[in-house]
Amino acid sequence: MSTEKIIITLFAKDRPGIVRALSDTLLKHDGNWLESSLSRLCGQFTGIVHLEVSDINKPRLLKDFVRLSDDGIFITVQDAQGISQDNQEVNGLQILVEANDRPGIVKEITEALAVENVNVDNIDTEVESASMAGYPIFRAHLFLAMPDDLSEDDLSDVLEGVSDDVMVSILEE
């Protein structure tokens, strides 16, 4: 018996029991939960999960995933055969970027990172609507994979060069 790896994305209105419903469904078909990234935002719950299931049980598992939509849990499936674990060592860096909120701020920051060949591994953003300065403040907490030839100081200079209101803090991992 061989196994197949799949990647699913899920979306549901947030409530207790979503992860349990997903894990119960997977276990019912003897599947294995390999890795995931799940989060709640704006009253919604979403995520991506890498799973493994026997080729014999996969069709029934996929049917049960469709049935979860009756409970408001919507799942899309992608075949992950040939996709390998990302075990590559990276020069990781965690930063906090703050600036005045405005349309396009995420594009400005990510464009500056892309030009320097910096990969965004994870980004969490928020806007503080009532800052002490009286205007909304944008915050982005980023986990980055840095190229070997770019220093932390150079990265700060690049991002702070986006506009005069951008501040970068290097965080301890």
Q: What is the pLDDT of residue 88?
A: 73
The pLDDT of residue 129: 85
The mean pLDDT value for 81-94 works out to 77
pLDDT reading at 140 higher than 80: yes
Cβ neighbours, 10 Å, residue 95: 19
Q: Looking at residues 64-93, what average pLDDT do you find? A: 87
Banded model confidence at residue 131, pLDDT cuts 50, 70, 90: low
Residue 81 bridge partners (DSSP): none
Specify burial of residue 143 (Cβ count, 10 A radius: 0-12, 13-18, 19+).
middle
**pLDDT above 70 (res 14):** yes
Report the pLDDT value the prediction gives residue 130, as an integer from 0 to 100. 66
What is the 8-class DSSP label of residue 70? G
The number of CA neighbours under 13 Å toward the Cβ of 127 is 11
Between 58-67 and 18-28, two packed helices, what is the crossing angle to 10 degrees? 150
